[in-house]
Amino acid sequence: MKKKRNSFVVRTVISWRLVRSSAVLLRDNSDLLIFPIVSAFLTILVSAAFGLSVLAVKDFDLRALTETSARFRFIALFLFYLAVYFVIYFCNTALVGAVLQMMEGGRPTIRDSMRIAYERIGSIFGYALIMATVGMVFRWLYGRGGVPSRLVGPLVRRVIIFSFLGLAWHLVTFVVVPILVVENVGPIEAVRRSARLVKATWGEQVVGNTSIWLIFSAPLILIAILATPLLSRAVDSANDWYTILILYGFVMAFVTLLLVQMALHAIFSAAVYRYAAGKHVADEFDETVLRNAFRSRPSPISTRLRNLAHRNHTKTTA
C-alpha cells in the first residue's frame, strides 16, 4: 500500500508547531542558553589560540603571514575549521542531549548534558572532520581560482548555485546531532541516517528553518541598517571610546541574537528528529512537562547570596 504523504499545508502547520514548541521550551528553560554561551567562549578561545599559533610559526612577522604558501594556508584553514566545528558540535550535542532528555520527561543537569557529549567525543570529532572537509570543498568550489567556479562562471551565478548547494547540505545534515545523541552511531552513518530522515521531513525542515531564519533576520537587518550610519559617524568623530561603545553595542546585539538562534535551532533539530523518528508529533510536545525541566545547580555566588538574604530575613524577623 502506498504511504500517505502530508500535504504542504499540513507540513507547514506541523513545522510551525515544532518551531513554536521549541521556542516555548527555550523560553521556559533559559538555562539551555549556557551551551551556546560556552560554545561562543570556546570558539573565541580556539580562534585566539589558533591565531597566535600561526603567528608563532611565522615568528610574529605579519608581512610573512601575507606571503604564506597555498599549502600552508590550506592546512591552517582546515585545522581551524576542524577545531571550531569540534567545539560547536560538542556544545550542540550537549544541548540536544539535554533537550531530548527533557522531551522524554527527564530533568537533566548541565553536567549530565556535557557527559552525553563527552561519551560521544569520537563521533563528534569524526563529524567535525566531515564538516571541515566539506567546508574546504565548498571554499574551493566557490573560490575564483577553482575549476568548478570557472565552469559555473561569474560571481552572481556562483553565489546562487553554491548557496543552494550549501542549503542542501545544511538540510541533509540537519538531524545528525540528534542521531549522534540517540542512536550513538558513527559520524558517516549519522549523515546517512540524517539524509534518509530528511526525505520524510524535508518540507517541515524547509518551513521551520525558514521561519527561524525570518524571525531572526528582521532584527539582524535592523541592526545592520542602524549600524552603518552610526558607525560611520563614530569613525568620523575620531573618538576611539565613542567608536568602541557603538561597535560594542552592535556586536553584542548581534551575538545575543545569534546565541538565542543557535539554541532554538538545536532544539528544533531535536524536535524534527523525534517527529521524523515517529516518537512524537507536534501536538504531543508537552509544554507542561518541558516547563522548567532543565535542572541547573545553583552557582556558589547565587547560593551565598541566597543564604545571606535568608540570614538577614531571619535576623529581622527575630
Q: 44 or 221, CB closer to other proteins?
A: 44
Shortest spacing between CB 170 and other proteins, in angstroms: 25
- Per DSSP, 318 falls in state -
Query: Is 248 near other proteins (CB under 8 A)?
Result: yes
Query: Is 27 near other proteins (CB under 8 A)?
Result: yes
Q: Where do we find the cell 504542504?
A: 8
Q: How far is CA 10 from the centre of its chain?
A: 27
Q: Are 34 and 117 in contact (CB under 8 A)?
A: no
Interface residue with other proteins among 2, 4, 63, 71 (CB under 8 A) is: 63
- Per DSSP, 283 falls in state G
Helix axes 8-28, 187-237, angle to 10 degrees: 70
Cell of 255: 551575538
Cell of 172: 541533509
Query: Is 305 near other proteins (CB under 8 A)?
Result: yes
Q: 130 or 247, CB closer to other proteins?
A: 247
Q: Where do we find the cell 565548498?
A: 138
Query: Is 240 near other proteins (CB under 8 A)?
Result: yes
Interface residue with other proteins among 34, 128, 179, 207 (CB under 8 A) is: 34
Residues near 133 by beta carbon (within 8 Å), at least 6 away in sequence: 78
What is d(CA 237, CA 230) in angstroms, rounded to the nearest whole number?
Answer: 11
What is d(CA 47, CA 33) in angstroms, rounded to the nearest whole number?
Answer: 21
**Which residues in 277-296 contact other proteins (CB under 8 A)?**
296
Query: Is 302 near other proteins (CB under 8 A)?
Result: yes
Interface residue with other proteins among 230, 243, 253, 280 (CB under 8 A) is: 243
- Per DSSP, 2 falls in state P
Choices 29-37, 75-83, 134-142, 217-225 (CB under 8 A): range interacting with other proteins: 29-37
Query: Is 214 near other proteins (CB under 8 A)?
Result: no
Choices 52-60, 175-183, 192-200, 247-255 (CB under 8 A): range interacting with other proteins: 247-255
Q: Which pairs count as long-range contacts for 279-283, CB under 8 Å and 24+ apart, including other chains?
A: 280/103, 281/14, 282/14, 282/17, 282/18, 282/21, 283/17
Choices 23-31, 74-82, 95-103, 178-186 (CB under 8 A): range interacting with other proteins: 23-31
Nearest to 172 by CA among 144, 148, 192, 150: 192
Interface residue with other proteins among 156, 214, 218, 318 (CB under 8 A) is: 156
Query: Is 263 near other proteins (CB under 8 A)?
Result: no
Q: 90 or 127, CB closer to other proteins?
A: 90
By CB under 8 A, name the binding residues for other proteins: 23, 26-28, 30-31, 33-34, 37-38, 40-41, 44, 63, 153-156, 240, 243-244, 247-248, 251-252, 255, 296, 298-299, 301-302, 305
